[in-house]
Structure 1
């Protein structure tokens, strides 16, 4: 049994999660406002969506993957709506006393669900995983099933590890941030999320 696929999946998952995107911005912002648990839970929502798409690609569920890719426009529209809503909500959030909040567990299901939906509405992720599986020489055979399980599991663990580190580091800095700085962070975060939304809107219009 070749357990190297678990390691490869870990590196892949960590690398995919690390670049700054709307999920990363949300993770940081929610950690500052609601605590470590909220930021980590937000990240795990995205990691779960990646796990699902990885399973679809890894186990040859071509009917499902073809359907999702074929309906990508509708998924992108849903994702666009979520991004605009989240960006506006971030811009208009009341930051008063936010950094002293102790309600870490408040709304964790909502935190998890929103990032899960933001990630799952990007079915092109399947194409990424299909390319990875093909590049590693994994075909839809029984011998490759165990390797596929290890790779997909590694992706989830690697992604979760990144969100664990990001949330933990942000939480450590939380007490050093004043309300005025937090307000600026909210402004920047909201504008950045809206920027990602406009990029998606541009792709929809020109695509």
Structure 2
């Protein structure tokens, strides 16, 4: 009983770190925010991304067949929407001159909710992360029939904790 709880917590932490670790648009956005605004805005961007990741993990664990069918049915629309969101963020990042925006973090207004929201939306715009999560769940045997509800509560909490640890 306790061994299986520790098993799922360790694997949940590993899944959380592995989901958050790949460098992509959200990683570049966090680096830019760290340089322009300081550590806290970048951290809140990462917290938004971690919330998006845990939502995708919950969707994967609870509705795997429904999500797979939804993605296959709406693949073109999802690809177009994801491409548009990534393109808009790319244009916004390209148009900003990081050297011009450099100032001490105390000179800039705190917009943690905006940082959180943009991190969440940028990460949530990539539904293909579901396939990565499915692979991680399969690799780490995260969804086993002998687990009870409290195992999954601890596991999903550990995934979120692992993602936060990365950020």
Give 1:43's match in structure 2, choosing from 22, 46, 56: 46
SS at match of 1:3: helix
Higher relative contact order (CA 8 A, sep 6+): 2
2:85 corresponds to 1:82: yes
Matches of 1:108 and 1:137, distance apart in 2:
33
Task: Work out the CA distance in 2 between the residues paired with 1:112 and 1:69.
Answer: 29
Instruction: Tell me if structure 2 keeps the 8 A contact 1:58–1:129.
Output: no
Distance 2:92 2:160 in 1: 29
Q: CA deviation at 1:16?
A: 2.7
By how many angstroms is 1:39 displaced? Answer: 0.1
Alpha-carbon deviations, 1:44-99, whole Å to 9, x = none? 11111110011112224533453245323322322222222222222222433523
Secondary structure of 1:102's aligned partner: helix
8 Å CA contact 2:11–2:142 kept in 1: the answer is no
Specify which of 125, 128, 134 is matched with residue 130 of structure 1: 134
How far apart are 1:148 and its partner, in Å? 2.6
Partner Cα distance (1:82, 1:61) in 2: 25
Single out whichever of 101-110 and 54-63 deviates more from structure 2: 101-110
| TM-score, structure 2 normalization | 0.81
Q: Report how many aligned residue pairs link the two structures.
A: 162
Aligned partners of 2:15 and 2:136 also within 8 Å = no
Q: SS of the residue aligned with 2:130? A: helix
* Structure 2 gap ranges (5+): none
The equivalent residue for 1:153 is: 157
1:106–1:16 CA distance, 2 compared to 1 (3 A): same
1:120-152 deviation per Cα after TM superposition (whole angstroms, max 9, x unaligned): 22222223323333440624x573433333222
Please name the residue that 1:32 is paired with: 35
* RMSD of equivalent CA atoms: 2.4
- Segments of 5+ residues of structure 1 without an aligned counterpart are 164-207
